[in-house]
Amino acid sequence: MNIKRVNLVNTDAGFAVGQIDFTMDDGYFAFKSYEPHSWDNECTVIDKSFFTRGNVKWDACSHFTFNGEDYPRDNDSYYHICGVGTYLNHMRMMQFILEVASSEYGDRFSDFELKELEKLRQLGLLSDYSFVACVIEDWELKTIIEEWNI
């Protein structure tokens, strides 16, 4: 299994605000995503909370599972969104997932969906952010594989 990691980095502050671990091994983009709370640098996240897991197909048909903000202790799907900033972070994470998926699909991603994605980009949700490919350390990869029940 080839699991990759991409972090969403606030370019002004220099720290990660989103993280995706993903694979394309089965021909579709399967992922788990997280919201970092502390970090050493743009690739080393120390503390994070689960955001969502799911998959995205070549036509942007997507499946998301939101297991609740206390996952894995609690699978109630409850999330507390507090203030406009939290709404913006939620929307950024959703676009971040779609952007990484479309990048992985490359020219196999639907032309129509690429045109729609361009409209989404015009909102500017990710204009002050960059995508940073990060190495997953061996010890962490073992934990990720166990979490994914692979």
What string of pLDDT tens digits covers the 150 residues of the chain? 789 999 999 999 888 999 999 999 777 899 999 988 887 776 778 888 888 889 999 999 999 988 765 555 566 667 778 889 889 999 999 999 999 999 999 888 888 999 999 999 999 999 999 999 998 888 888 878 777 764
Instruction: Specify the residue for token string 């995706």.
Output: 20
Burial class (CB in 10 A: 0-12, 13-18, 19+), 77: exposed
With beta carbons less than 8 A apart as the criterion, state whether 73 and 64 touch.
no
Give residue 150's pLDDT.
47
Return the H-helix or E-strand segment holding 145: helix 138-147
How far is C-alpha 112 from the geometric centre of its chain's CA atoms? 22
Give residue 75's pLDDT.
66
Return the H-helix or E-strand segment holding 104: helix 84-105
Give residue 2's pLDDT.
85
E strands in the chain = 4-10, 15-23, 29-39, 45-56, 62-65, 129-134
Q: How many residues does the chain have?
A: 150
pTM score, two decimals? Answer: 0.88
Give residue 115's pLDDT.
92
